[in-house]
Amino acid sequence: MIRVLLVDDSPTALHYLVHLINSDPDMRVAAAIGDGSGALAAVLSHQPDVVVMDVHMPRVDGVVATREIMESAPTPVVIMSGSSRTNDTVLAARAIDVGAVAVVRKPVGPELPEHVATTAAFLACIRSMAEVRVVRRWAAASRHCAPTVGIEPPVQLRLVAIGASTGGPVVLQTIFSQLPGDFRIPIVAVQHMARGFVEGFVQWLRDQVRRPISVAVHGQALEPGCLYVAPDGGHMEFDSAGTIVIRKDGSDHGHIPSVSRMFHSAASVFGPAAVGVLLTGMGSDGADGLRAMREAGALTIAQDRETAVVYGMPAEAAQLNAAQLYLSPAQIVGTLAHLHDLALEEARRSMPPGEARG
């Protein structure tokens, strides 16, 4: 039985959510409180398996309450939001930054057509996140974090493709913020998250990372040193010229966007001139695509078991022998920086002597 602590300042919403959760035979509301200021005390008192908390509360919001819980009584926290406005989704992303494991749309009432879908997604998220170990933090990366195993640098490094799910936002922020300032390879990313939250996630990343970041747009050219995050409701692929293609033709591995779809396209278009990175997350999305990248000659990396919040997607990659390296976030940063340096050095060596000096 999954024991849930509910935190929401709206008595009406709290009553409705208690009903929904208690209607599931696998769950029970251990406590329901109306203020984030009491969340930590309730966690200590009731020891729930998961905390489900509104992001907007007047006295202590979901970000502050999550930080207090993760500092004193680490417990999986699911953040709810009833709005997809950018300010609200940025606030939800900040809750992820301080330790929340997921963001979910607050289920709508039975009078609305989205009731069944939002309720099913809400309960499925709680069920999954109750099994997640709390978010870990990693030491800052340096140029010396590259693995000691030999790595053959790509002749021409043109793309880094990254896929992530549960626990991924913090790892992506770690990687993006710690890459060296002269890193000039375009990076594309698929991050599974509730529909409507990508724009806020990207805005939060912009606040954290001194690098151009945008939601990917159909027909967009990949620019050096820029980051592109797949949009809601569309798969990110690439045409023969390396331009971004957004396709809206159904789910793949149960996801839109799909990590595997992006990886398969990167394998086909960029071949050995790409690096594929599969991070923490539930399920199997990305594993077969990472294997396709490896078979096309790309370097393939998966996050290691020790640092992954959920070792589902990397474990699936291991089953398929898709990854050549299993690394921590700091080691991933060091490896990418190392490859970038090797590629630059190779490019300088291949220049005519006069150009190399200039």
Which pLDDT belongs to residue 345?
A: 74
Asked whether 155 and 65 are in contact (CB, 8 A), the reply is no
pLDDT-based confidence at residue 278 (cuts at 50, 70, 90): very high
As assigned by CATH, the class of the 2-129 domain is: alpha beta
Which pLDDT belongs to residue 348?
A: 72
- Radius of gyration of the chain, Cα coordinates, nearest whole angstrom: 21
pLDDT-based confidence at residue 141 (cuts at 50, 70, 90): low
Which pLDDT belongs to residue 330?
A: 94
The stretch 149-167 carries a mean pLDDT of: 81
180 has pLDDT over 70 = yes
Q: How far apart are CA 115 and CA 118, in angstroms?
A: 5
pLDDT-based confidence at residue 148 (cuts at 50, 70, 90): very low
Q: How far apart are CA 319 and CA 326, in angstroms?
A: 13
Pick 92 or 83 by higher pLDDT.
Answer: 92
Which whole-number Å values give the CA distances from 76 to 120, 136, 280, in the listed order?
19, 12, 15
Q: How far apart are CA 348 and CA 11, in angstroms?
A: 65
Which pLDDT belongs to residue 140?
A: 60
The stretch 153-180 carries a mean pLDDT of: 90
Domain segments of the chain as ranges: 2-129, 143-348
N- to C-terminal Cα separation, the chain: 68
The whole-chain average pLDDT of the chain stands at 90
358 has pLDDT over 50 = no
Order of all β-strands in the sheet with 187-191:
213-215, 227-229, 187-191, 159-164, 274-278, 299-303, 325-327
What is the topology classification, in CATH, of domain 143-348? Rossmann fold (3.40.50)
Q: Both tokens of residue 104?
A: 């979910």
Which pLDDT belongs to residue 196?
A: 87
352 has pLDDT over 70 = no
* Lowest-confidence segment of 36-40, 247-251, 295-299 by average pLDDT: 247-251
Asked whether 236 and 188 are in contact (CB, 8 A), the reply is yes
pTM of the predicted model, to two decimals? 0.87
Instruction: Work out the burial of residue 11: count CB atoms within 10 Å of its CB; fewer than 13 is exposed, 13-18 middle, 19 or more buried.
Output: exposed
The stretch 147-156 carries a mean pLDDT of: 59
Q: Do the two domains 2-129 and 143-348 of this chain adopt the same fold?
A: yes
**How do residues 33-72 score in pLDDT, each as one tens digit?**
999 999 999 999 999 999 999 998 988 999 999 999 999 9
Which pLDDT belongs to residue 156?
A: 79
Please name the helix (run of DSSP H) or strand (run of DSSP E) that holds residue 316, with its range, or none.
helix 312-319
Q: Which has the closest alpha carbon to 338: 139, 174, 153, 182?
A: 153
187-191/159-164 β-pairing: parallel
Which pLDDT belongs to residue 256?
A: 94
Q: How many CB atoms are located within 10 Å of the residue 213 CB?
A: 21
343 has pLDDT over 80 = no
Q: How far apart are CA 301 and CA 197, in angstroms?
A: 27
244-247/235-238 β-pairing: antiparallel
Residues noted as catalytic:
165, 192, 285
Which whole-number Å values give the CA distances from 272 to 61, 190, 221, in the listed order?
47, 20, 20
Share of the chain above pLDDT 90, in %: 74
147 has pLDDT over 60 = no
The stretch 235-249 carries a mean pLDDT of: 96
**CA torsion, ordered 232, 169, 150, 148, to nearest 10 deg:** 180
- Please list the alpha-helical segments (H only) found in 320-358: 329-350, 353-357
Which pLDDT belongs to residue 134?
A: 74
What value, to the nearest 5°, has the Cα angle with vertex 164 and ends 253 and 161? 95
Please name the helix (run of DSSP H) or strand (run of DSSP E) that holds residue 112, with its range, or none.
none
89 has pLDDT over 90 = no
The stretch 127-138 carries a mean pLDDT of: 76
Q: How far apart are CA 277 and CA 299, in angstroms?
A: 9
* Lowest-confidence segment of 237-241, 251-255, 262-266 by average pLDDT: 251-255
Q: Which has the closest alpha carbon to 313: 286, 273, 348?
A: 286
